[in-house]
Amino acid sequence: MGGDIVILMLGVLIVLILLGVHIGVALALCSGVGVFIMFRGNTEAALSIMSNTAYEAIRKDVFVVIPLFVLMGDFIWRSGAAGDLYRICDRSLRRLPGRLAIATIAGNTVFAAVTGVSIASAAAFSRIAYPEMMKLGYKQTFALGAVAGSACLGMLIPPSVLLIVWAILTEMSVGALFIAGILPGIILALLFSGYVIIAAIINPKIAPAYDKPLVNPTPEEKRSELIGGLGILALISVVIGGIWLGWFTPTEAAAFGVICALVIGIIKGMRLNDILESMYQAGRTTAPIMFLLIAAQMYSRLLALGGGVNYIQGLFIDSQLSPLMVIMLMGLIWLILGMLIDSISIILLTVPIFAPLAIALGYDPIAFAIFGILVIEAGLLSPPFGLLVYTVKGAVPDPTATLKKIFIGSAPYFLLILVAAVLVLAFPILATLLPSALM
């Protein structure tokens, strides 16, 4: 009976999402109705369970990590440190083919370690890197692809909001998932860089060689860049190193990170209005996520009460599919959903069902989490939704940069993300090595 109700509510949930109902509203509504039906119309019992679930969800201190990391990244972006980082990467990599695209990838890799949201990276480097690549005669689709594709690194390299949400839903260690994302993130950045170098060697016209730095900075500009660059490295050391060495919990590391980012911002010239706007922006970014997480906890309670996970596991087991085929089917579902809804919504909808099923099939939960994040991350570049593509379109100061060109340019990065996902699935040690050695 409970399993049938869960399946019915999942069907209603999908219909509501396709009709354009907000994912949080759809989750909460279906969860409430499903629990109400299970308790045979006992309104008081259903409301009690749902209200307690919402209260218990929001009082978890791990939820504080999300707004803190978002605020930390916004401080760094508004301080201009991201631009400093890009120029430092440009001068360091100027002998490589396609160096500005590689500098964009390198900058995004480091910037990802101080912001948990890919959108922030996409917006920042659309304004910083794209104009410089166009000045030097880079092919437009190639330049747009480098910006959009490399921004995906923000969802894998810690501190990642997606990893935090996954950890909350599965009750895994946020710190362990953070550490697990480092090596696959580096591998993905190397894959991106390898593609750029090979493409630039094969067809030099898409990325003309230019071995001089973008600008010859004055001593004052060099000092400012040094503050920004060293500040970001210090911030990474505080956040990731503190968690790595066990000095901080993720929540404590996020709090220290915000303080350090604020200090960097003030040194770089941020004023009170900038600080207040960063706080407002962090609130605007975080509030919808928190609402979604509360609704997702209700959804998880519905699955638990109705035995939904066991019911769906039984369907997969009875289908006689091999474990690998089941995982591939999950990946296909993630890619299809990526064409329709955002990454956090995908995690909220599927992870409460897929994660226990993957563990039951014998897959390591940490490796499966990184595999899932990579596949879902690819959805950020897939049409017609492609959240990062739309972000780049909105942020690039060029009306000729059409959505079609951005999708075409980011297609190789989409494929490389899937390659990295397959590598993690085939070699789980890529994700489990660092957590097992350090946590």
Q: Given pLDDT bands bounded at 50, 70 and 90, which one contains residue 3?
A: low
State residue 309's pLDDT score. 65
Looking at this protein, which amino acid is placed at residue 329?
Answer: L
Q: How far apart are CA 348 and CA 355, in angstroms?
A: 11
Q: Is the pLDDT of residue 166 over 70?
A: yes
- DSSP letter for 386, please: -
Q: Given pLDDT bands bounded at 50, 70 and 90, which one contains residue 292?
A: confident
Q: How far apart are CA 323 and CA 214, in angstroms?
A: 51
Q: How far apart are CA 436 and CA 291, in angstroms?
A: 33
> What number of CA atoms fall less than 13 Å from residue 207's CA on the CB side?
27
Report residue 309 as tokens: 């996970």
Report residue 342 as tokens: 């955002």
Centre a 10 Å sphere on the Cβ of residue 104 and count the other Cβ atoms it contains.
30
Q: Is the pLDDT of residue 315 over 80?
A: no
DSSP per-residue letters across 181-242: THHHHHHHHHHHHHHHHHHHHH-GGGS----S-S----HHHHHHHHHHHHHHHHHHIIIIIH
Measured CA angle at 124 (ends 370, 138), to 5 deg: 95
State residue 347's pLDDT score. 86
Centre a 10 Å sphere on the Cβ of residue 302 and count the other Cβ atoms it contains.
28
pLDDT by residue (tens digit) across 386-433? 777 877 887 777 788 888 888 999 999 999 999 999 999 999 999 999
Tokens 């500009």 correspond to what residue?
Answer: 221
State residue 265's pLDDT score. 86
Buried/exposed code over 320-342 (b: 16+ C-beta within 10 A; e: otherwise): eeeeeebbeebbeebbebbeebb
pTM attached to this predicted model:
0.81
**If you average pLDDT over each of 151-155, 189-193, 247-251, which comes out highest?**
189-193
Looking at this protein, which amino acid is placed at residue 34?
Answer: G
State residue 428's pLDDT score. 93
Q: Is the pLDDT of residue 213 over 80?
A: no
Using DSSP's 3-state secondary structure scheme, residue 280 falls into: helix
Mean pLDDT across 85-95: 75
- DSSP letter for 64, please: G
